[in-house]
Amino acid sequence: MTSQAAEARIGAGRYIDAAQIPPGTETSVHELTTADGAKVSGVLRALPGADTVVSLMHPRQDLTHHVLVPELVSRGFAVWTQGTRSTNNDLNLIHEQALLDAAAGQVFLRERGFGARVTLGHSGGGTLFAFYHQQAGLPAEQRLTAAPSGRPVDLANADMPVPDGAVFLAPHPGQGALLQRLIDPSVADEADPLSVVDELDPFSPANGFARPPESSSYSPEFVDRYRAAQRERIRRIDAEARARVEQADRARASFKVSGDPADRRAALAPRVLTVYRTDADLRYTDLSLDPNDRPYGSLFGRRPDLTDYGLVGFGRLVTPEAWMSTWSANTSNADFLRCAPGVRAPSLFVELTGDAACFPRDANAMAAALGATDVEHRRAPGTHFGGPLRPGDPTGASLAAAEIGGWLTERFPA
């Protein structure tokens, strides 16, 4: 790892040392088959006698070693960490399919006989589970039948057990809504990662950018223009994604008539989108915008002016179908505010006060949108991934674990 990459990871607080799994913990690995025949796997950890199980899941990441696992197991709760069919490779992440993956996990836990099943969604896992609660709580005939691209997804005939509780830790508003805040609208040419529209460049001193780590100062006029341009870039990519989906649809229709292998190949061609520069939320560099306790920098490091141009980021390489299902704020069904009214189980929303993905007004709106009659909104000092606000402080993860453990004990005794 280069020193720059190491600094970026440390600065983002993305990798937090976890406590040790308690002695006596029983650990088992399971492969599950989803309602549509996909294979997903998960790990169950529990001390003997645990009756409440907490499910940790994220649409894109492997949470097997999530920092909260030992914290919750040590408090007497079983913990189920599960992947989707797109774990660590979200090129073709279809959120509607990820619901079938989540459903397989909930069926497995129900059949294991746990007295209570509670979902715990951290970051993007929050919207995934809000989406799951919403669809699972609907009559089967009212569930979605297709992803935004038109790809059929049979939620109606899937067994989708409704969980008994829901915990949300630093959830962002959904990957589409998040990307619309992060995408750099100064890209002048989608084929050229270095192309810049100068008057929209967030890293130009002429527009208010200051040398890191000094906080920048963008004018309200620039902020408004920048955000409008972000929305417009998303719309342009939406149009390209739709065009590519329609091209594949035409090839499939032609193949059904002609039987020509050339049409079949044309239908199978992935037509992948490359989306450059997606680490450019103005709030990363101007701490006066939507202020909270966050440090300077993005989710990926201390230098957004560099990471924005790098390989790491959201939605960099994606199929048109995945763009429409996951990354477009205009077409994705996985939007926290839209899904939250369908979350009717007792709910805990834990806001981390140094978050750079869920800001105070986001947290207030998201917690208020939850459909449960029993909702608590608590705050804990920490950064988005559960790091400490300052060296030597308790980690946000440990402080959040105390809040979550107390809430669970009150409602679902281990």
Residue where a domain terminates, one of 323, 345, 380: 323
304 & 340 share domain: no
288 & 364 share domain: no
Q: Which domain holds residue 227?
A: 180-323
146 & 212 share domain: no
164 & 218 share domain: no
Instruction: Look at the chain and report how many structural domains it folds into.
Output: 2
71 & 105 share domain: yes
Residue 120 and residue 100: Cα distance in Å, rounded? 17
Read off the amino acid at residue 151.
R
Q: Give the model's pLDDT for residue 7.
A: 35
152 & 275 share domain: no
Q: Give the model's pLDDT for residue 335.
A: 98
Q: Give the model's pLDDT for residue 2.
A: 37
**Phi, psi angle pair for 6, to nearest 5°:** -65, -40
46 & 157 share domain: yes
Q: Give the model's pLDDT for residue 267.
A: 85
- Cα atoms in the Cβ-side hemisphere of radius 13 Å centred on 258: 14
189 & 155 share domain: no
Q: Give the model's pLDDT for residue 174.
A: 97
pTM of the full structure: 0.93
142 & 210 share domain: no
Q: Could you write out the three-class secondary structure of 177-211?
A: HHHHHHCCCCCCCCCCCCCCCHHHCCCCHHHCCCC
19 & 142 share domain: yes
Residue 72: which CATH number?
Answer: 3.40.50.1820
| Pair 110, 98: CB distance under 8 Å | no
| Pair 327, 316: CB distance under 8 Å | no
186 & 260 share domain: yes
Q: Give the model's pLDDT for residue 5.
A: 36
pLDDT tens, residue by residue, 210-239: 999 999 999 999 999 999 999 999 999 999
Low-confidence ranges of the chain (pLDDT < 70): 1-18, 414
Q: Give the model's pLDDT for residue 18.
A: 64
Residue where a domain terminates, one of 323, 350, 378: 323
pLDDT tens, residue by residue, 351-370: 999 999 999 999 999 999 99
Q: What is the DSSP letter of 324?
A: I
Q: Give the model's pLDDT for residue 108.
A: 98
Q: Give the model's pLDDT for residue 9.
A: 37
Residue where a domain terminates, one of 278, 297, 323: 323
53 & 113 share domain: yes
Q: What is the DSSP letter of 152?
A: B
Q: Is 332 left (phi over 0), alpha (psi -120 to 50) or beta?
A: beta
